[in-house]
Amino acid sequence: MPLDHLFSPLSLGTVSLKNRLIMAPMTRSRAGQPGDVPTSLNAEYYAQRAGAGLIVTEASQISRQGQGYAWTPGIYTDAQEKGWKGVVDAVHAKGGKIALQLWHVGRISHHLLQANAVAPVAPSPVRAENSKSFVVLPDGTPANVPCDEPRSLSSAEIPGLIDDFVRAARRARRAGFDLVEVHAANGYLLNQFLSPNTNQRTDQYGGDLENRARLVLEIIDAIGEEIGFDRIGVRLSPGGVFNDMDDPQSEDMALYLGSEFTRRGLAYLHIAEPDWAGGQPLSAEFRRDLRLAFPGCLIYCGNYTAEKAEAVIAAGIANAIAFGRPFIANPDLPRRFQENAPLNTPDPDKFYGGGAEGYTDYPTL
């Protein structure tokens, strides 16, 4: 079938995209060490995929405290900012657009990743069951280990957390990123504040739905004052169960936040669909309601084919579709879709860590 809608241009705020094929954020654990600094290898990887309408980078921690996996890049030091600038410059040189995903993992962490080996932080001291953090053990061996029990963030610490997001966004703009994406999905810190199974607070950040949403909106407002609301996207995961999430109000929360994002004029809303991790598929009714709550640029991500993406964009359900694993194995994914060419198969054994193999060595047409 023709892919006229998928390959039509799109505006996200003040940023113009050449197509509606988004590269989804995917952790690859290949930041340079020491310091979790993006390298020329990372620049090559992203530049290879600049045919996407927009690249959303792998999640990047806004602070040392926000890290939950070894070898993931940060955006809180001068060296990290300089490394990311090299990535951005390489993508722009190939005619691409790129957004940096801002990340704090919250309770999905371990004391070996934290400064002074302290406990991770979370809205409440609720441990994530059946969830893993990737660490380097004291003997130098990398390992997946159960997440530590977190401590609760105090109310007095919240302003500092918001400042960390703002500083990260400021660095992203200095590095030349076209947009930033606030990661409020997949069971990480901001998602933990949104969900009642992880947020048991009794202050202004806990309790009813509006209070649980307060931190996300305060972060958006603070970043918006710094770089402009039209350069901000947000990722949500309604119905998501990854990282021990269980939120019966998650669709209501997404609709509430969608309307608040509309009021603020955000560049886009990015929905990570739940069924990739065992959650129930989103209903047609919810998609319709979300479209009404957020008439701006709506991106869905979750096991789409080119034909399915074309259909949902043509129907007005979404404005763009994000692809994850197909982009790992197919740097020229847009061209392959246009030419109806076969796709390379990704190698899961090389998703995380390592060097060029399984990262920048997948063949193009």
Domains of the chain, by residue range, sit at 10-350
Q: How far apart are CA 182 and CA 169, in angstroms?
A: 9
Give which of 294, 298, 224, 293 is closest to 22, Cα–Cα: 298
Q: How far apart are CA 332 and CA 23, in angstroms?
A: 11
Q: Which two three-digit tokens encode residue 161?
A: 């957390």
Q: What is the pLDDT of residues 178-202, one digit of tens each?
A: 999 999 999 999 999 999 999 999 9
Q: Is 180 helix (H, G, I), strand (E, B) or coil?
A: strand
- Does residue 277 carry a pLDDT above 80? no
Mean predicted confidence (pLDDT) in 191-217: 98
In CATH terms, is domain 10-350 a member of 3.20.20.70?
yes
The predicted pLDDT at position 279 comes to: 83
Give which of 72, 269, 53, 73 is closest to 175, Cα–Cα: 73
Which of 46, 188, 268, 352 is flagged as catalytic?
188
Q: How far apart are CA 177 and CA 171, in angstroms?
A: 9
Q: How confident is the model at residue 276 (pLDDT cuts 50, 70, 90)?
A: confident
Mean predicted confidence (pLDDT) in 99-108: 98
Known active-site residue 188: yes
Question: What single DSSP character describes residue 34?
Answer: T
Contact 122, 66 (CB under 8 A): no
Mean predicted confidence (pLDDT) in 26-38: 98
The predicted pLDDT at position 118 comes to: 98
Q: What is the pLDDT of residues 118-169, one digit of tens each?
A: 999 999 999 999 999 999 999 999 999 999 999 999 999 999 999 999 999 9
